[in-house]
Amino acid sequence: MISEATRAKIEAFMRKSLEAIRLNAVNTDTGQYFPKRLREELAAELSYEVTEDEFILRGKGYFYTLVTGRGPTVNPGPGAVRRYITEYLEEQGESGADLTRHAFNAATRQHEYGSKLYRSGQQSEVVKSIINEQTIADLKQQVAQALVIDVGKYIQESV
Question: Where exactly are the structural domains of the chain?
Answer: 4-71+114-158
H or E segment to which residue 109 belongs: helix 96-113
Cα separation of 8 and 6, whole Å?
A: 5
Cβ atoms of 48 and 55 closer than 8 Å: yes
In the predicted model, what is the mean pLDDT of residues 138-157?
81
Residues forming beta bridges with residue 28, ordered by sequence position: none
- pTM beyond cutoff 0.85: no
Question: Using CB atoms within 10 A of its CB, is residue 129 exposed (0-12), middle (13-18) or buried (19+)?
Answer: middle
Quickly state the pLDDT bin for 2 (edges 50, 70, 90): low
Residue 17 and residue 148: Cα distance in Å, rounded? 24
Q: Using alpha carbons, select from 79, 84, 77, 67 the residue that is nearest to residue 120.
A: 67
Query: What are 38-94's pLDDT values in tens digits?
Result: 999 999 999 998 877 788 889 987 898 999 999 998 877 778 889 999 999 999 999
